[in-house]
Amino acid sequence: MPRTRDRLSVSQVADLDLPSLVRRRLMELDITAEQASRLAHWAVAPETIEHLAAGRRSGLVSDRLADALARALGVPQNRVRRAAGLPEVPDPRESIETTPHLRLIKGGGSSGEAPAS
């Protein structure tokens, strides 16, 4: 049985390519490409994020784009770099959590009012 440190984490194996990473993070965060672009202070255009998610971007991913996209998606830069086939770099954000944001929905069919007696 592998020791804990020998196992790969989800962030190292979950996304085999950049389009799947972009689509999954947009879905997990429940944001649009424009909202993601805003999170990166417009360093990456919403159209670029949309094209990456759809797998329509044909150019190479630069270091600058990888950094901006990581900020837009709320993931460590090396996660984007791995998905894009780029070599990893020292990244102070490597330890950030990238789990989906969950929302609690009140209800179960009730309107929140006390039942009438």
Residue 55, in any domain of the structure: yes
Structure confidence by residue, pLDDT tens digits, 71-95: 999 999 999 999 999 999 987 766 6
Residue 38 lies in a domain: yes
Evaluate whether residue 48 is within a structural domain. yes
Domain annotation covers residue 24: yes
37-56, pLDDT tens digit by residue?
999 999 999 999 999 999 88
pTM: 0.67
Burial class for 103, CB neighbours closer than 10 Å (0-12, 13-18, 19+) = exposed
Q: Is residue 104 part of a domain?
A: no
For residue 76, give the CATH number of its domain. Answer: 1.10.260.40
The number of distinct structural domains making up the chain is 1
Quick check: 12 and 76 in contact, CB under 8 A? no
Nearest of 43, 20, 18, 22 to residue 33 by alpha carbon: 22
Residue 54 token pair: 């759809």
Residue 46 located in a structural domain: yes
Task: Domain of residue 28: give its range.
Answer: 10-84
